[in-house]
Amino acid sequence: MQERCKIGVVIGNANSPHAVNIMKGIDQASKECDVQIMYFMNVSSPYTAQLYPPDTSIGWDYQKSAIYDYARYVKADVLIMTYGMMSIFMKSDYGKQYLEYFRNVPCVLINEQTDRPNWTSIIVDNYNGIYELVEHLVRDHGYHNFAFLAGPPGNTDACQRKRAFLDVMKKYDLPMDESRIETGDFSECVQKQVNALLDRIPNLQAIVCANDVMALTAYQECEKRGLHIGQDIAVTGFDDWERIRHVPVPITTIRQDSERSGYMAVYSALELARSGHGKNIVIPAKVCVRESCGCTCKQFSGFDQIENMGQKFVYEKQRNTVYRQKTWMVPMISRNMLIALQDREKFLKNALTPMSFFGVKTALLYVFRNPVEYNIEKGWEFPNTIYLVARQDGERVEVFEEYKNEVSLEKCGFSDEGSARYQHQPSVFCLQSGSTQYGVLSVEITPEEVDMVYLISIQMANALMAYHTEKKRLSVQRERELLLEELRSKNEILNFVSERDELTQIKNRRGFMEQAMEMNRVYKNRKAIILFADMDGLKQINDNYGHAAGDIAICACADILKKAAGVNGIAGRLGGDEFALMMIGDKTRAIELMETVQKEIAMYNAQGKNKFAIDMSVGCQLVLCTDELSIPMVLEKADKIMYEEKKKKGKAR
């Protein structure tokens, strides 16, 4: 079985009527020829420049051109590029570099000429189309006061159309200088340019526009000034966009069959893939005369025209209603994604679940492991690996394990192991917010859904930005918690070391004092026992048996006092052979405590573990826990009592 031909289609300004019609032609031919098509589309935002001043913090349109780089990994047999529309929003040097990258790949260029033997170009006869139209205005209408609304500089279509216009002006010796020319970008955002021409040129008779989209804006701006189109001023376009046929005064234009260009591009691509030899194809352009130039339209008789326009109005109204409903739903995607920022599976499901509502047959969501910065000056290092994280097929949405479905762009691109595994004719959109690229959205749609899915891709990208921001926040929070936990642990160790006697492992002087004061505060107005103890005979033990034996004796006394203090009491070594104990209790409990200490000493000595015996002299004080209680003063009194006991034993202190 012969493998299907793979054709990559790179389209700029994909939301324009011209691009949509090209895609319709490509779709039709691809079905006839059973070829695999993959679109890489950039959608322009012409209103951004109009609404906001030039500012790199806002002007991220160049980011969308990153989608063109993905075409390198499509593993296509041949590429179709609408280079004329791609180059409108490209930096000039980048456009040339981009074409150079594919110099060894069979390519079909639409709206551009080429001299490469392995490339085919398809371009409309721009020059003769404009020339014939402008001559019609001069000869048949007698117009002599013209203005020209040109397309973007460097665009081949725009340059050829401008040259034809200027040649007619020169041929008939009509006034023409730079003040009569304004430059647009083929979008509807040319209000300033149109009004500049109307303000500068008195009694202007005709505005010749380089395409229909700009012509419609010129038409609307003239109407705002009270000018009657076709009577007070003529307006013409280029393309024969369906919409300009159904305005109150249909616009004279030049018909280029965009669908035919797309259709021919597929068949030319197949021929190029087989033979390797390219050719240059020029599609004839036909002048379509309508009322906007001052002619009387003979296309319809009166009633037929009204009926046709009525049907069109009903169709457009229904279409706009559906479009409005869908537009209202687009923000819901990012809202529902943002709600689930901390639940990855729900977050991704909320991204793709509504896609079928927007006419998307299948959708694949790819992300980078780490978002990639794309700087207009420095370019970007294209990641070789991307991850398929979620898939939508009709009403079904499947979320994949994080970073499990790895796709190597270098090895397979978006071919059998990528989008083509799930999709017959995918269209790929960048997921970009600001200067950051998060991944791509690959969808199966019709050309009419391009602008809607573009809006969705913006919503998804913004939600992905929030997701990664939240991910970073949680990571930082977790790191902070770990650091705090580590700090608490170290502080506990420090506190333990600073409050604990290293030899006996009971409280040292500082630890005992702090805890005794805390006990006094907690048990306010309760009776407490404070005991002071001093070992008897430590010097003799050290002298006779060594300091190691002395340490054993000290630890034994500490253990006895710790056991006597119990869970709720405190025992501490104040230094050397001096100890203290505090616990809640009355006189009876104090007597029991003294007896317990003496019994424990006797039991220890009776075991005969060591050659020496231990003993302690103790002094005890009963106190009332109050704010005025001074622990050091009580210990001093207990010390005096203990000293008296030591004297009674006849032992030197």
Task: Write out pLDDT tens, residues 249-268.
Answer: 999 999 998 999 999 999 99
Element (H, E) at 497: helix 450-499
Rounded to 5°, angle at Cα 317 from 186 and 448: 50
* Under 8 Å between Cβ of 407 and 421: no
Angle subtended by helix axes 547-565 and 538-545, to nearest 10? 140
Q: Would you call 465 helix, strand, or coil by DSSP? A: helix
pLDDT-derived band at 96, boundaries 50, 70, 90? confident
pLDDT-derived band at 58, boundaries 50, 70, 90? very low
Residue 329 has pLDDT above 90, yes or no: no
**What is the longest distance spanned by two Cα atoms in the chain?**
141
**Rounded percentage of the chain residues whose pLDDT exceeds 90:** 56
Q: In this predicted structure, what is the pLDDT of residue 121? A: 93
pLDDT-derived band at 645, boundaries 50, 70, 90? confident
Question: Could you give phi then psi for residue 425, rounded to 5 degrees?
Answer: -145, 75
Q: In this predicted structure, what is the pLDDT of residue 12? A: 82
Say how far apart CA 192 and CA 217 lie, in whole Å.
10
Beta-bridge partner residues of 583: 529
Class of domain 500-649: alpha beta
User: 303 or 147: which carries more pLDDT confidence?
Assistant: 147
Mean pLDDT across 509-516? 92
- What is the residue-averaged pLDDT of the chain? 86
Residue 235 has pLDDT above 70, yes or no: yes
188: CB partners within 8 A, 6+ apart: 46, 213, 214, 216, 217
Torsion of CA 170, 172, 175, 176, to 10 degrees: -30
Q: In this predicted structure, what is the pLDDT of residue 490? A: 79
Segment among 8-22, 417-431, 594-608 with least mean pLDDT:
417-431
Residue 209 has pLDDT above 80, yes or no: yes
Residue 500 tokens read as: 């604990």
Q: In this predicted structure, what is the pLDDT of residue 594? A: 93
**Predicted TM-score of the model (pTM):** 0.69
User: 62 or 473: which carries more pLDDT confidence?
Assistant: 473
Segment among 293-302, 468-477, 570-579 with least mean pLDDT:
293-302
Q: In this predicted structure, what is the pLDDT of residue 244? A: 92
Mean pLDDT across 647-651? 71
Residue 652 has pLDDT above 50, yes or no: no
Mean pLDDT across 185-195? 92
pLDDT-derived band at 210, boundaries 50, 70, 90? very high
Q: In this predicted structure, what is the pLDDT of residue 376? A: 63
Mean pLDDT across 18-33? 91
Q: Residue ranges of the domains in the chain? A: 126-259+276-303, 500-649
Residue 248 has pLDDT above 70, yes or no: yes
Residue 624 has pLDDT above 80, yes or no: yes
28: CB partners within 8 A, 6+ apart: 259, 262, 263
Residue 11 tokens read as: 């389209």
Q: 434: alpha, beta or left, given left = phi > 0 and alpha = psi -120 to 50?
A: left
User: 652 or 114: which carries more pLDDT confidence?
Assistant: 114
* Under 8 Å between Cβ of 16 and 185: no
User: 2 or 565: which carries more pLDDT confidence?
Assistant: 565
Q: In this predicted structure, what is the pLDDT of residue 307? A: 43
Mean pLDDT across 452-466? 91
Residue 503 has pLDDT above 90, yes or no: yes
Residue 374 has pLDDT above 90, yes or no: no
Q: In this predicted structure, what is the pLDDT of residue 225? A: 95
Domain 126-259+276-303 belongs in CATH node 3.90.1330.10: no
* Under 8 Å between Cβ of 359 and 329: no
Residue 620 has pLDDT above 50, yes or no: yes
Residue 57 has pLDDT above 50, yes or no: no
Residue 425 has pLDDT above 90, yes or no: no
Please list the alpha-helical segments (H only) found in 500-576.
Answer: 509-522, 538-545, 547-565
Q: In this predicted structure, what is the pLDDT of residue 423? A: 61
Mean pLDDT across 494-517? 88
The DSSP 8-state label assigned to residue 612 in this structure reads S
113: CB partners within 8 A, 6+ apart: 121, 123, 156, 280
Please list the alpha-helical segments (H only) found in 340-361.
Answer: 344-352
**CA separation (Å) from 104 to 84, 93, 101, 278?**
20, 19, 8, 12
List of E strands, 336-482: 362-373, 385-393, 396-399, 406-408, 427-433, 436-443
Say how far apart CA 428 and CA 446 lie, in whole Å.
13
Mean pLDDT across 470-484? 90
Q: In this predicted structure, what is the pLDDT of residue 165? A: 97
Torsion of CA 562, 568, 569, 572, to 10 degrees: 60
pLDDT-derived band at 330, boundaries 50, 70, 90? confident
User: 105 or 323: which carries more pLDDT confidence?
Assistant: 105
Q: In this predicted structure, what is the pLDDT of residue 83? A: 77
Beta-bridge partner residues of 362: 393
List of E strands, 247-304: 253-255, 280-283, 286-288
pLDDT-derived band at 138, boundaries 50, 70, 90? very high
User: 173 or 651: which carries more pLDDT confidence?
Assistant: 173
Residue 322 has pLDDT above 80, yes or no: no
Spell 592-618 as b/e; 16+ CB within 10 A means b: ebbeebeebbeebeeeeeeebebbbbb
Residue 48 has pLDDT above 70, yes or no: no
**CA separation (Å) from 259 to 57, 110, 176, 207, 256?**
37, 12, 35, 27, 9
Mean pLDDT across 507-534? 94
Q: 510: alpha, beta or left, given left = phi > 0 and alpha = psi -120 to 50?
A: alpha
* Under 8 Å between Cβ of 6 and 266: no
Nearest residue to 510 (alpha-carbon basis) of 570, 583, 555? 570
Residue 483 has pLDDT above 50, yes or no: yes
Q: In this predicted structure, what is the pLDDT of residue 415? A: 52
Rounded to 5°, angle at Cα 176 from 217 and 90: 50
pLDDT-derived band at 59, boundaries 50, 70, 90? low
| Gyration radius of the chain's alpha carbons | 44
